[in-house]
Amino acid sequence: INKALAIDKINAKAYFMKGMTYKEMGDTAKAVSNFQTTVDQDGEYYHAFIQLGLIFSTRRNKLAIDYFNNAIKLNHKSVEARYDLAMFYQENNETDKAIIQYDSILRIEPKNKNAHFNLGYIQLVYLKDYKLAVQYFTNAISCDSIYAEAYFNRGYCYELTGYATNAKADYHKAIEVRTNYQKAIEGLNRIEEGKK
């Protein structure tokens, strides 16, 4: 890559590749520097904006929002950029903004199992709306009939709301899909303990 840049210093793709190499090596400072050079040279380099967003997300730095929004401006139907932005909001307790992004993903891609799942997760963990969470997890399962985490989380919602039979069925399904799924096994044990 350095040889290519010695020939042509204005080569956005080479800087992007260099950034990816540094990222793989764990040197995020040099990765960021190269990705920023990429977008300086080519303001429409979508993947560089995504990579910058991801790196700043891991640092919980709000600059990630700008980078993901730049990627969305370049590709307004980008599920990837919207999902990454939604995850940033979700992990930083901005659930209202995360919900908006997941909803926008579902307008683009109605069968996106991860958007349905994460909407359910927000309802379950952050907002404690178990009935709505069940609906989202059910939607995720309708998109992927072997989505073990969705079965487990729906089962957990049922357990929390006193529907032990439904909870057991979902825990069993989660274990059927993923052998020895520890959380589902623990859920079944809790239900059995509750009967005693």
pLDDT tens-digit readout, 48-86: 999 999 999 999 999 999 999 999 999 999 999 999 999
| pTM for the full predicted model | 0.90
Q: Are 187 and 167 in contact (CB under 8 A)?
A: yes
Q: How confident is the model at residue 195 (pLDDT cuts 50, 70, 90)?
A: confident
DSSP 119-177: HHHIIIIII--HHHHHHHHHHHHHH-TT-HHHHHHHHHHHHHTT-HHHHHHHHHHHHHH
CA distance 81 to 160: 34
* pLDDT confidence of residue 3: 78
pLDDT tens-digit readout, 76-112: 999 999 999 999 999 999 999 999 999 999 999 999 9
Q: Give the CA diameter of the chain.
A: 76
CA distance 162 to 94: 29
How distant, in Å, are the alpha carbons of 62, 63, 70, 85 from that of 58? 10, 11, 18, 12
| Confidence check: pLDDT of 196 > 70 | no
pLDDT tens-digit readout, 58-67: 999 999 999 9
The mean per-residue pLDDT over the stretch 122-151 comes to 98
